[in-house]
Amino acid sequence: MDRRQQKTRDAIFKAFSKLIEQKRYENITVQEIIDEANIGRSTFYAHFETKDELLRALCTDIFSHVFSNELMSEKTHDFSGGNNGLEAKLTHILHHLMDSKTNIVGILSSHSGELFLRYFKDYLTEMFSKYLNEIKMNAPADFVLNHLVGSFAETVKWWIDNKMKYTPEETARYYIEVSCVNRITD
């Protein structure tokens, strides 16, 4: 990739991230991004067709870090405790959100969350689905999977909105406790 392209792309990402901390996605204009990134108008449109596509690209960038290959690897057959069990993975995700350089929290808590959450849920779905065949409930598997993913995403949003008043460890434990996966392991 051309060095100039890379520099421009970085500048746009950086400007966009900064802006998204300050105001909600909907109210950010392309003009503001351009000014903040200090690039030409036509340059922006040479990189991204729309603002939505920019957000999409940023999400992809971010999540490829949060959901590492290790995290997405096959489960180690335990839900709670353990080194690489579900609870540990969830804890890892929460830590990552808390510590991340790019302001994931700002994005997630912003109104732009919808698009962002869609990507988040896609990754979560992939992760949770590996645990699915061990969960025997009187409910269809697709229902259970959606419930697990949806409620964890809601939990994360709530956790962030409440200034992360519980630690990642606590939050993950509460989730496991309340979630239906809890009922198989006792």
Task: Compute how many residues bind a second copy; rule: CB under 8 A.
Answer: 31
Nearest alpha carbon to residue 93 among 77, 75, 71, 73: 71
177, interface contact from a second copy, DNA, none, CB < 5-8 Å by kind: a second copy
Residue 3 CB-density burial (10 A; 0-12 exposed, 13-18 middle, 19+ buried): exposed
For DNA, which stretch binds (CB under 7 A), given 36-44, 72-80, 87-95, 125-133? 36-44
Q: Is 1 in the site for a second copy (CB under 8 A)?
A: no
For a second copy, which stretch binds (CB under 8 A), given 54-62, 71-79, 86-94, 171-179? 171-179
Sign of the CA dihedral with 35 first, then 29, 161, and 169 last: negative
Q: Are 79 and 178 in contact (CB under 8 A)?
A: no
Q: Quick one: 82 or 113, whose CB is closer to a second copy? A: 113
For residue 99, give both structure tokens: 């510590």
Shortest Å distance, C-beta 27 to DNA: 8
Q: Is 23 in the site for a second copy (CB under 8 A)?
A: no
Q: Is 47 in the site for DNA (CB under 7 A)?
A: yes
Q: Is 38 in the site for DNA (CB under 7 A)?
A: yes
Q: Which residue among 22, 29, 68, 76 contacts DNA (CB under 7 A)?
A: 29
Instruction: Give me the half-sphere count of Cα atoms (radius 13 Å) on the Cβ side of residue 25.
Output: 20
Q: Is 101 in the site for DNA (CB under 7 A)?
A: no
The H-assigned helical ranges of the chain are 3-22, 30-37, 41-47, 51-66, 69-72, 86-99, 104-109, 113-129, 141-161, 168-178, 182-185
Q: Quick one: 4 or 163, whose CB is closer to DNA? A: 4
Would you tell me which residues interact with DNA (CB under 7 A)? 2-5, 7-9, 29-31, 38-43, 45-47, 49-51
